[in-house]
Amino acid sequence: MFITFEGIEGSGKGTMLERAVAWIEQRGKGVLCTREPGGSELGVRLRAILLDSRNSDITSRAELFLYLADRAQHVEQVIRPALASGKVVVSDRYADSTIVYQGFGRGLDPQELFKLNDVAVGGLWPELTLVLDLDVETGLERARSRNQQLGIEEKEGRFEAESLAFHTKVREGYRSWAKLHPGRVRIVDASGTPDEVFARVCVMLEEAGL
């Protein structure tokens, strides 16, 4: 089974993903936990380019194809082999990030991006995509203070440096996209304590048969 986590910066996606992985492992299943960008060796190099705030001149289309290259490599080298060996694969971001950030966020056509992603991943879409939904101000405040604490504002801060308007489009984009894919893409209310949010995540994992 293939599950992905999505959401704006600072939505608590990373914490929920870690807890979900532990929860699935406790049920005796093998899990591969991975992420985008940067889930393969090539991807680590692409990630460094994509997230460096000094690369602010990357065009929307160049950015798009770098994400697609990262994903194509990730699917073939990492995700498909793990699924074939019977593991549950849990990824921090996947194709829906491109559709929402480069599409709803940057203004490229989401349906066109859906098709390009479909080519990049050879038709492999997750069975379940959980979108951690939180108001943009709270999320960005959390993400910026985390980057500052880790000292990675410059190396990894290209998206955190985007405007509130951009992140609002991203949040709304996730909500619109989820409405178009009600079976697979589920919105999770990410407000409240981590325990409260995780309880909501568990309900959806159980509904997916885990």
For ligand TYD, the closer CB: 118 or 207: 118
**Counting contacts by CB under 6 A, is residue 147 touching ligand TYD?**
no
Site residues for ligand TYD, window 57-86 (CB under 6 A)? 67
Q: Which residue has the tokens 């690369």?
A: 55
CB of residue 98 to ligand TYD, shortest distance in Å: 3
> Order of strands, edge to edge, in the sheet holding 128-133?
31-35, 88-92, 2-7, 128-133, 185-189
Judging by beta carbons within 10 Å of its beta carbon (0-12, 13-18, 19+), is residue 182 exposed, middle or buried? exposed
**Counting contacts by CB under 6 A, is residue 51 touching ligand TYD?**
yes
CB of residue 143 to ligand TYD, shortest distance in Å: 6
**Counting contacts by CB under 6 A, is residue 101 touching ligand TYD?**
yes
**Counting contacts by CB under 6 A, is residue 5 touching ligand TYD?**
no
For ligand TYD, the closer CB: 51 or 197: 51
**Counting contacts by CB under 6 A, is residue 36 touching ligand TYD?**
yes
Q: Report how far residue 165's alpha carbon sits from residue 93's, in angstroms, rounded to the nearest whole number.
A: 21
Cβ neighbours of residue 192 closer than 8 Å, sequence gap 6 or more: none
Length of the chain: 210
Q: Per the structure block, which two tokens stand in for 181?
A: 């894919």
Contact in structure between 3 and 90 (CB atoms under 8 Å): yes
CB of residue 174 to ligand TYD, shortest distance in Å: 12
**Counting contacts by CB under 6 A, is residue 133 touching ligand TYD?**
no
Question: In the complex, which residues of this chain contact ligand TYD (CB under 6 A)?
Answer: 9, 14, 36-37, 51, 67, 92-93, 97-98, 101-102, 156, 159
